[in-house]
C-alpha cells in the first residue's frame, strides 16, 4: 500500500497515477481534513448545546450575531486562501523554499489584517444586536458574545491560516490533530467559564477563544520547526510580502472578499428576515444550522483536499490529473453528504434534542432540517466544486455563481415565503437555492473554464 508521501512525490515528479492511486490519495488527504471539519463542527455543537441549556433567550442571543461572525471570519479566511493556493502551487513544483517564504508572509498578513478587523468589530459590538433587529431581552448577551469573539479574531484566523497552508502542502494529519485537540479544550474551557464561573453566554465565547489560542500556537510552532515542506531552517527572509506575491494573493482573495460580502452579507439579511419571528424561531434557526453542519462536514473536508490536489497537480503542470481529481472529489462529496442527509432526516429529533430542551424549538428545528435534507447532495457539488476552482486560482466566476444564486433565489424566495410560512418558508427558500447552486457548479466544472489560466 503506497503512502501519502509516496503518492504526492509521484504527482510532483510527473510519474503516472492510476485511478486507484488517485482515489487512494484523495482519501488519504480527505479523511484527516474531514476529521478536522468534524472537530470544528463539534465545537459549534458543544457551544450551542451548552448555551442552549441556559435557555432559549441565551441561545437566540448567540444565533442573532452568528451570521455577522461568519462575515468577519470570511474576510480573514479569504486572505489566508490567497496565500495557501500559492503554497499548493509551490509544493507541486517542488519549490519548498518558496512555500516556506509564503507561509511566513501569510501569517504576517493574516495577523495584521484581522487585528484591524477585530478592532472595528469590537467597536460596533454594542450597537450590532439592535441593528439586526434583536429583542431587548437578548441584546446584552449578544453584544458581549460578539465583543469577545472579535477580540480573539486574529488568533482564530492565524489558526485557520496555519491549517490551510499545512493542508495545501499535503499535510492533512497535523491540522486534524490540532483541531481535535482544540475541540477537547473547548469543552473544558466552556465548562469552566459558562458553568463553574457562571459567565453564561460570554463564557462560551471566552472558552472558544482560549481553545483557538492554544491551537494557533501549536500550529505555528509545527510549521516553523517540523513541517518538511514549509520550515526553512536558517532562512531570514522578510515576513512582509512583496508586491508580486500580494498581487497574486489578491487575485484569489479579492473575489473571495466579494463573495464574503455578497454571501455572508446575505446571511445577515436572512437574520433580519428571521428575527421578527421571535426568539423561538431565532433559536430553532441557529440550532438547525448547527445540526446541519454534520451533513456538510465531509464536503468541506473534501473541499480542502480538492484545493490541495488540484493546486499541486497544476503546479506540476499536470492538467489532466487536476481534472480527474476535480471530478473524484466532487463525486465523493455528493455521495457522502447524501448518506448523511438520510441520517439527518431520520435522526433530526435526536440532533435537536442534544442542543436544547425547549419542545417548541425542537419541533420547529426538526421540520426545517428535514426540508434541508433534500438539498444536501447538490449542495456538496457547490462546496467541493469551489475547492476545485480555488486550487486553480479561479475564484471570480464561482463567486459570481454564488452571488446570483443566494441573492436572487434564496433572498428573493425568503422575502416571499417567510412572512407567509414562518421559518419553514425560509428553509424551503434555502433548500431550493442550494440545489440550483449545485447544478451551476457542476456545469462550470464540466466546462473546464476554471483551468483556463493553465492552458495558456
Q: Angle CA(322)–CA(232)–CA(239) in degrees, nearest 5?
A: 90
Answer yes or no: is pLDDT of 244 > 60. yes
% of the chain surpassing 90 pLDDT: 38
Answer yes or no: is pLDDT of 1 > 60. no
Q: Angle CA(163)–CA(166)–CA(168) in degrees, nearest 5?
A: 105
Q: What integer is the mean pLDDT of 276-280?
A: 86
Answer yes or no: is pLDDT of 235 > 70. no
Q: What integer is the mean pLDDT of 188-192?
A: 91
The DSSP line for 160-193 is: HHHHHHHHHTT--HHHHHHHHHHHHHHHHHHIII
Q: What integer is the mean pLDDT of 82-100?
A: 87
3-state SS class at 317: coil
Answer yes or no: is pLDDT of 199 > 80. yes
What are 341-348's contacts with CB under 8 Å, separation 24+? Answer: 341/295, 341/373, 341/374, 341/376, 341/377, 342/373, 344/291, 344/292, 344/294, 344/295, 344/369, 344/370, 344/372, 344/373, 344/376, 345/369, 345/370, 345/373, 348/291
Give the residue, 291 or 433, on which the prediction is more confident: 433
Specify the pLDDT at position 236: 64
Answer yes or no: is pLDDT of 420 > 70. yes
Q: What integer is the mean pLDDT of 415-439?
A: 95
**Residue 239 per-residue DSSP state:** S
Q: What integer is the mean pLDDT of 32-47?
A: 72
Domain residue ranges in the chain: 19-449
Q: For the chain, what is the mean pLDDT?
A: 87
Answer yes or no: is pLDDT of 417 > 90. yes
Amino acid at each position: 500500500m503506497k503512502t501519502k508521501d509516496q503518492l504526492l512525490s509521484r504527482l510532483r515528479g510527473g510519474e503516472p497515477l492510476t485511478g486507484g492511486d488517485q482515489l487512494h490519495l484523495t482519501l488519504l488527504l480527505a479523511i484527516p481534513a474531514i476529521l478536522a471539519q468534524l472537530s470544528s463542527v463539534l465545537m459549534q455543537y458543544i457551544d450551542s448545546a451548552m448555551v442552549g441549556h441556559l435557555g432559549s433567550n441565551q441561545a437566540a442571543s448567540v444565533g442573532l450575531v452568528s451570521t455577522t461572525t461568519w462575515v468577519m471570519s470570511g474576510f480573514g479566511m479569504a486572505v489566508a486562501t490567497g496565500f495557501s493556493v500559492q503554497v499548493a502551487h509551490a509544493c507541486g513544483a517542488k519549490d519548498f523554499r518558496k512555500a516556506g517564504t509564503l507561509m511566513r508572509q501569510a501569517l504576517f498578513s493574516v495577523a495584521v489584517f484581522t487585528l484591524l478587523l477585530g478592532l472595528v468589530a469590537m467597536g460596533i459590538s454594542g450597537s450590532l444586536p439592535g441593528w439586526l433587529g434583536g429583542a431587548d431581552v437578548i441584546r446584552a448577551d449578544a453584544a458581549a458574545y460578539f465583543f469577545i469573539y472579535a477580540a480573539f479574531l486574529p488568533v482564530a484566523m492565524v489558526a485557520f491560516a496555519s491549517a490551510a497552508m499545512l493542508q495545501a502542502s499535503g499535510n492533512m494529519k497535523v491540522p486534524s490533530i490540532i483541531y481535535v485537540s482544540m475541540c477537547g479544550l473547548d469543552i473544558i474551557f466552556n465548562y469552566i467559564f459558562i458553568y463553574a464561573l457562571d459567565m453564561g453566554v460570554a463564557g462560551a465565547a471566552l472558552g472558544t477563544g482560549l481553545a483557538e489560542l492554544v491551537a494557533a500556537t501549536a500550529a505555528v510552532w509545527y510549521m516553523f520547526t517540523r513541517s518538511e515542506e514549509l520550515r526553512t531552517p536558517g532562512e531570514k527572509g522578510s515576513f512582509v510580502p512583496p508586491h508580486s506575491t500580494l498581487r497574486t494573493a489578491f487575485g484569489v482573495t479579492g473575489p473571495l472578499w466579494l463573495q464574503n460580502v455578497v454571501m455572508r452579507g446575505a446571511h445577515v439579511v436572512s437574520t433580519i428576515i428571521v428575527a421578527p419571528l421571535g426568539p423561538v424561531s431565532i433559536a430553532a434557526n441557529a440550532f438547525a444550522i448547527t445540526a446541519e453542519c454534520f451533513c456538510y462536514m465531509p464536503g468541506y473536508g473534501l473541499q480542502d483536499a480538492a484545493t490541495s490536489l488540484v493546486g499541486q497537480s497544476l503546479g506540476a503542470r499536470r492538467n489532466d490529473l487536476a481534472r480527474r481529481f476535480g471530478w473524484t472529489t466532487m463525486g465523493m462529496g455528493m455521495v457522502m453528504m447524501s448518506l448523511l442527509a438520510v441520517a439527518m432526516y431520520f435522526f433530526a429529533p435526536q440532533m435537536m434534542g442534544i442542543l436544547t430542551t425547549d419542545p417548541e424549538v425542537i419541533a420547529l428545528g426538526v421540520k426545517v432540517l428535514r426540508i434541508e435534507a433534500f438539498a444536501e447532495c447538490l449542495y456538496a457539488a457547490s462546496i467541493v466544486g469551489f475547492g476545485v476552482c480555488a486550487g486553480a486560482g479561479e475564484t471570480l466566476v464561482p463567486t459570481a455563481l454564488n452571488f446570483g444564486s443566494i441573492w436572487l433565489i434564496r433572498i428573493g424566495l425568503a422575502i416571499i415565503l417567510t412572512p407567509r410560512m414562518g421559518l419553514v418558508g425560509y428553509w424551503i427558500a434555502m433548500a431550493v437555492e442550494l440545489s440550483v447552486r449545485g447544478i451551476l457548479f457542476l456545469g462550470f466544472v464540466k466546462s473546464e473554464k476554471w483551468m483556463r489560466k493553465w492552458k495558456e
